[in-house]
Amino acid sequence: MPAVQEHRFQVSGMDCQSCAAKVETAVGRFKEVSDVTVNFATQVLTFRTPVDGANPDAIGDAVRKLGYGVEPLAPRPAASSEHEKFRVDGMDCPSCAAKIETAVRQLPGTSDIAVNFATQILSVGLDTAVTPPDAIVEAVTKLGYRTQHLAARDTVDPVRVRSRAAEIREDQQPWWRAPKARLMALLLGTGGLGLVAWLAGHSEQWAFLPTALIGLVYFGRRAFAAARAGTPFSIEMLVSLATIGAIVIGASSEAALVNVLFLLGELLEGLAARRARDGIRALGKLIPRTALLVDGDATRAVEIDTLSVGQVVLVRPGDRVPVDGTIIDGSSDVDEAAVTGESIPVPKSPGSSVVAGSVNTTGALKIQVTRRVEDNTINRIIHMVEEAQATKAPTARLIDRFSRYYTPIAILVAALTMVLPPLAFGADGSTWFYRGLGLLLVACPCALVLSTPAAIASALAAGARSGLLIKGGAALEAIGSARTVAFDKTGTLTVGKPVVTDILPIDGTADALLSLAAAVEQGSSHPIARAITERATSAGIAVPAATEQRAIAGKAVEGRVAGEHIEILSPRHATGLGYEPDTHPTISVLEESGKTVVVVAKDKAPIGFIAVRDEPRPDAAAAITRVRQLGVTPMMLSGDNRRTAGAVGKAMGLEVRAELLPDGKLQEIARLKSQGTVVMVGDGINDAPALAAADVGIAMGGGTDVALETADAALLHEHVGGVADMIELSQRTRRNIAQNVVIALGLKAIFLVTTITGTTGLWLAIMADTGATILVTLNALRLLRFTGREQDRTTRDRSTNLRPVEASA
């Protein structure tokens, strides 16, 4: 392997875990960078690169662009550990994931252990010289889970890189072929024979004993393995102890029933978890397996995994687009509903970008591949959602801490129930022993531990299918608790494509004024600059060359044209320089009509005004109304002048903070954060510092790289109403979590009382645990029905049921 080096940077300005995740994601996008970690507590970024690989200074600059301070720390040679991944089948709930994590942590040479229950993936930082991957497989298999080292499968064909979507398509084993399903069949079979024997007059104790023993062997082995691996109070241990106790007191029928019901609960949990994963699996199915590769004058069908950047594919009308790319020939309307949630097909022509999974509706297209399949938009969305599902929400972390104490205390209470009444009060020993066994089963925390992750996983999957990408449970919970949503104006509440409306020369002609302004603005990506240069181009005006061009952020741009010093200034900056008062009648009239005005000056003397207007998005006003109805205060933060921003804000019923430079936006965000949780919505490019400073940053980027990578959440379409959808989804999720906690703890409390009083027995105790788990899971799955108001219902139904279209020659 090539020599690698560890790099460390001190990153200042991170004020929450979302900031750390944002930095980690941005750095992870660099090629040849691996093992990226951000320690929020110490504010240290760590990553590895080949010794002669990626430039760490460029990575530091990328982090600075997110709005954080970056200082390099002394590098040190990297250790010999590597990150290994394993697929672990059979995890039914987060308790299983915690059990596996504890077991792997006992092994030497392991670090950075992460078990993603949603994707069934175990990731381990592993020093293979100390512990080989096979040792991990063996340790996890002993716990009762089928385990596969993913590297072995992924390196079978070194030429082909597998996409996450392809892996998802293959993860389709029928539930009835799982080991637990076969064990259930065995238990039901032996239990049925026992029932026949009992009805024929044989002893109940002996008739159901085989069923109880089979269950005891299965769960007992898993309990013993978990105890050796550091989890002594597992649910398998509780069931095994209850089974042994029931057999000892001659209640083998109840022991058998306990095992059958518990296994049934695990099977149903697995099916529910599979249903939640189907929300993301549906995205993976959108990508066709093959594409029509253009080879000279002919086409041939190839597997999409073999396509390289720069190759050209043909997409016929009705076909699904197989790759992310750029159209080089043909025009068509492309339906992107299944990927971005955009309900109306989007016109596309040469030069337009298209995303994999969208549907070509009208004309044939030739598309040049711009990303390999494993890096296309859908695969990145899948990866981000899976990573988000792996992160624990604040409520989940609180419940995990609670459950660590709850189970041992419950076991202690069960033991005291068995011994205290007989010893202290002379009560019947077998009666209280039996009740103590029931308390062991009531002690299982599965439903409680599952209450938050199940809801978070369902909500994240539902959001992704509706074009709402939320990067983790912490962000999802925070959005629902927001007190204020701050919107940027340009490109967020407005279309982001201003057009020139007025050219008013003080001296000379309008064409001459526009020519000078366009010369200085050439090469700038600022929306106003693009509006001026596009107007000059469309009018056929010759644009001279400019030199010494320089931009003053938020204030002006300047340069020299034919030896003359030309400036394009905001009215406020022009006033500060003494060029022209911003109360000039022309400026006032234009701004009060919602237009943005710039002053054009030559050799420090104003020569005219140019006004542009950026139209509000059609759904912006309705979206703002919905945000307010959801109990959140919307406001607008803009760098534009007060009159223009005020005109836009008034039309939407928004409180406005205008004339804010980038540092002014940060100060306003800080002020709002002192009053409660703040969500900032921007375009993901110019607003990166403000997005980073808010509790949650939401980027409206239409699926662009920047929107996907920089913010805590992103709208994959261009509808402001998606912000309201995101808030509504978050609020529903918070309510769902609260309902789940009440169900889990409420049933425990009820059956705690009924078990101690002898009203219910062992089988009802296990039914309480299984029933609570099933109710919690089913309640969480209700969130998968969320679709958001921004999509047309028929389009949503169609997009979620679309099948991949296979290309053929």
Active site residues: 488
Tokens representing residue 95 in the block = 């308790």
The vertex-632 CA angle with 627 and 637, nearest 5°, equals: 80
With beta carbons less than 8 A apart as the criterion, state whether 207 and 216 touch.
no
| 777, two tokens | 């899971």
- Under 8 Å between Cβ of 169 and 378: no
Rounded Cα–Cα distance for residues 6 and 653 (Å): 52
Run of H or E including 11? strand 4-12
748 touches 768 (CB < 8 A): yes
Q: Which residues contact residue 547 at a Cβ distance below 8 angstroms, ignoring those fewer than 6 apart?
A: 559, 560, 561
Q: CA dist 329 to 298, 335, 519, Å?
A: 15, 18, 32
Q: CB within 8 A of 345, min separation 6: which ones?
A: 333, 334, 335, 336, 361
* DSSP designation for 805: P
SS3 39: strand
CA distance 533 to 298: 41
Residue 248 Cα distances to 381, 415, 418, angstroms: 54, 16, 14
CA distance 722 to 624: 11
List, in sequence order, every beta strand (DSSP E) within 20-119: 34-39, 44-50, 69-77, 82-89, 110-116
For strands 468-470 and 713-715, give the pairing. Answer: antiparallel
Instruction: In whole angstroms, give the CA distance from residue 143 to residue 140.
Output: 5
Give 759's contacts (C-beta < 8 A, 6+ positions apart). Answer: 753
**What residues are paired with 567 via a beta bridge?**
558, 601
How is 150-201 classified by DSSP, letter by letter? HHHHHTSSTTPPPPHHHHHHH----GGGSHHHHHHHHHHHHHHHHHHHHHTT
DSSP 423-471: HHH---HHHHHHHHHHHHHHT--HHHHHHHHHHHHHHHHHHHHTTEEE-
Tokens of 429: 């020993």
In the numeric block, which tokens belong to residue 264? 């049934």
Give CA–CA dist 584/512, Å, rounded: 22
Q: Which helix (H) or strand (E) holds 338?
A: helix 337-340
Closest CA to 473 of 122, 712, 275, 728: 712
User: What token pair was written down for 389?
Assistant: 């599902």
Would you say 325 and 354 are in contact if contact means Cβ atoms under 8 Å apart? yes
d(CA 414, CA 435) in angstroms, rounded, equals 8
Q: How many whole angstroms from its chain centre is CA 136?
A: 28
> How far is the C-alpha of 70 from the C-alpha of 26, rounded, in Å?
14
- At residue 243, what is the residue type? T
Would you state the structure tokens that stand for residue 612, as one six-digit string? 């542009």
**The Cα angle at residue 620 between residues 618 and 625, in degrees rounded to 5:** 130
478, two tokens: 């925070």
Cβ neighbours of 278 (radius 10 Å):
13
Judged on CB neighbours under 10 Å (0-12, 13-18, 19+), 275 is middle
From the number of C-beta atoms within 10 Å of its C-beta (0-12, 13-18, 19+), residue 314 rates as: middle
